[in-house]
Amino acid sequence: MKNNQDYPDPGEFWTNKRVCVTGGDGFLGSYVQEVLAKRGARDVFIPLIEDYDLTDKECIKRMLADASPDVIIHLAALAGGIGANRARPAEFFYKNLMMGVPLMHEAWAAGVGKFVAIGTICAYPKFTPVPFQEENLWEGYPEETNAPYGLAKKMLLVQAQAYRQQYGFNAIYLLPVNLYGPRDNFSLETSHVIPALIRKMIDARERKESEVVLWGDGSPTREFFYAGDAARGIVLAAERYNGSEPVNLGAGMEISIKDLADLIAELVGFEGNIVWDTSKPNGQPRRALDTRRAKAYFGFEAQMPFREGLQKTIQWYLENKDLVK
């Protein structure tokens, strides 16, 4: 176990370091930017998709020349819920693979000092024992609906370990669990479960509808991780962790989708019926992480209570729903 005396001073760590955060203008990226600023990073480059197509090798090279980074935090991804993954599996595989693998290679070639690769909980096997431990990653095939996405992101772990072994490249790999929070994606076509439930139930309440229809049977369990906590974990790992082993990032909790739906209905004041469409897939049966490695390796623990985080997310949506597509 490490103690805080072993860790570098954040202000000293980030002084004179140029940081490139791919996906930095997205949901999680907005929180990472805030945490970096609080911890003393002053030179942060955010490549916008309009300027740099990270699936194009020449764009990657141009971005690295423009950013000249000492540290890359690679958040950029094509992601979505079960519906989006089922509808676009080829895109989810190709774009995530081609955003990640060439970027890490070109970062190594350009002499970047550290690469922080953000993986996904979807990389775990479908029937991973709960709580998921990092050593379980290779013990089976991922859940089918998001396997193309999960495997594309998982290749960054293979690459990080191979490049560390052969080239001494300081690439680390983090596995955040399902994120939520203010500023999330509330599109019903591409959102994840929490923003989708919040939007559906608020819309139903305002329209005085008697029911909402949800996918599956409500039995799967999930762990949910406040985006502000996730950002803090990612930045702490960037500062403090320099190892080859993958590291889970999560809140150490588990809730069924049925209980989640009931809780959100209570918090938003929806009093109608919840109908489960069992013709639709459930996704992975259970998800919850063993988070001890993050605490041991870089002193990270989640702080946001789940109910409070949901309330903050609901309040943000109520204040911004006219702007949400």
Query: Quick check: 40 and 10 in contact, CB under 8 A?
Result: yes
* DSSP character string of 190-247: T--HHHHHHHHHHHHHHTT-SEEEEES-S--EE-EEEHHHHHHHHHHHHHH---SS-E
Catalytic residue among 149, 173, 241, 317: 149
Whether 141 is catalytic is no
The alpha helices in 39-88, defined as continuous H runs, are 57-67, 82-87
* DSSP at 255: E
Residue 140 CB coordination number (10 Å): 12
Token couple for 43:
């030179």
d(CA 85, CA 191): 11
Nearest Cα residue to 20 out of 153, 110, 83, 84: 110
d(CA 227, CA 34): 11
Residue 279 CB coordination number (10 Å): 7
Residues labelled as active-site residues:
149
